[in-house]
Amino acid sequence: MSESIVDTRSVVDTRERPLRDLRVSVTDRCNFRCRYCMPRELFGPGFAFLPSSEILSFEEITRLARLFAAGGVQKIRLTGGEPLMRRELPTLVGMLAAIDGVELTLTTNGSLLAQQARALAEAGLQRVTVSLDSLDDTVFQQMTDSAIPVSTVLEGIEAAAAAGLRPVKVNAVVRRGVNDHTMVTMARHFQGTGHVLRFIEYMDVGHSNGWRLNEVVPGAEMVDRIDAALPLEPVKPGYRGEVARRYRYRDGSGEVGVITSVTDPFCGDCTRARLSADGTLYTCLFASTGTDLRGALREGADDAALAGLIGERWRAREDRYSELRSGETVDLGRIEMSYIGG
């Protein structure tokens, strides 16, 4: 390994934040049309998704992942779109699992998980996070704009747990007047199962979701609602950069979390980079521009040059969108969440 790659371990951004987490989008396609991510009127039959020639190959993803790991990344999360729509995904998982010292996880909508959980676990995947916004089929299908029932996602969660991908984390995006009335029902369902339920404030990612501040249910309100039915107490963060504020049930039956990017931002401890399906490096979920790594890869750049690009971009990183969010930032250009994962 070249000295320049080893040196990137000490790289921090302009706010002294190290690079520790990498989210890798393996596809920009999804079989859901969630209103807050890929609304059907914009992502309909005529939408031009990336051609396969523009998407990073498994070998290209693995090469970049090794460089990120050499630069200090300790966790790699596969995202999409819906990552389980990428063909032969267990093959990529096996390639990434061979990288020493890296935790390998995946975020999915769960619709294809029951069929793939075992193969993913056997390939080396360690944990899985499943997006599930409600247990009510009517609400769920309204939010996902799909005909897939909640039972399919629940089957996927249980298949993942049975395959050893534990604890399964379940993420629910909460929108006022849409699914906030189902939060306590969800908490009751997952309490005592060993799965970890996390509620996420509705965020203004991209420009296609019609985000409005009055549809945000603050994390503090979420906690109050759950605590009133199922008493909670706070839990200390497990590591720097942990985005969920954790609470455990006072009766010892598990825990729940809230992710408060809008009302209580955590930019100061954000250690995440994102690699899009076409090989663009983004340093914030709310970024408007990125750094093209695919071009350098395919033009023959060696590992030292690629590591230099990554390190240079991270050193220059100033991102703190959620701390600056205001009326002046609402219309700023931002990449769509379906392009770089959540």
Tell me: pLDDT of 26 over 70: yes
If pLDDT is split at 50, 70 and 90, which confidence band does 5 have? Answer: very low
Does the reported pTM lie above 0.95?
Answer: no
Most confident of 254-268, 295-309, 316-330: 295-309
Helix H or strand E segment including 310: helix 303-315
Nearest-angstrom CA–CA distance, 298 and 294? 6
Task: Give me the residue spans of the domains in the chain.
Answer: 3-340
Tell me: pLDDT of 45 over 60: yes
If pLDDT is split at 50, 70 and 90, which confidence band does 341 have? Answer: low
If pLDDT is split at 50, 70 and 90, which confidence band does 321 have? Answer: low
Please say whether the beta carbons of 64 and 275 come within 8 A. yes
The stretch 121-148 carries a mean pLDDT of 97
Q: Is the dihedral of CA 316, 320, 326, 330 positive or negative?
A: positive
Q: What is residue 43's three-state secondary structure? A: coil
**% pLDDT > 90, the chain:** 73
If pLDDT is split at 50, 70 and 90, which confidence band does 24 have? Answer: very high
The stretch 85-108 carries a mean pLDDT of 97
Tell me: pLDDT of 297 over 80: yes
If pLDDT is split at 50, 70 and 90, which confidence band does 237 have? Answer: confident
Nearest-angstrom CA–CA distance, 197 and 34? 19
The stretch 13-39 carries a mean pLDDT of 92
The stretch 264-274 carries a mean pLDDT of 86
Higher per-residue confidence, 253 vs 43: 253
**% pLDDT > 70, the chain:** 88
Please say whether the beta carbons of 299 and 315 come within 8 A. no
What length does the chain have?
342
Helix H or strand E segment including 104: strand 103-108
- State in words which class domain 3-340 has: alpha beta
Q: What is residue 313's three-state secondary structure? A: helix
Please say whether the beta carbons of 215 and 175 come within 8 A. yes
What's the chain's Rg over C-alpha atoms? Answer: 19
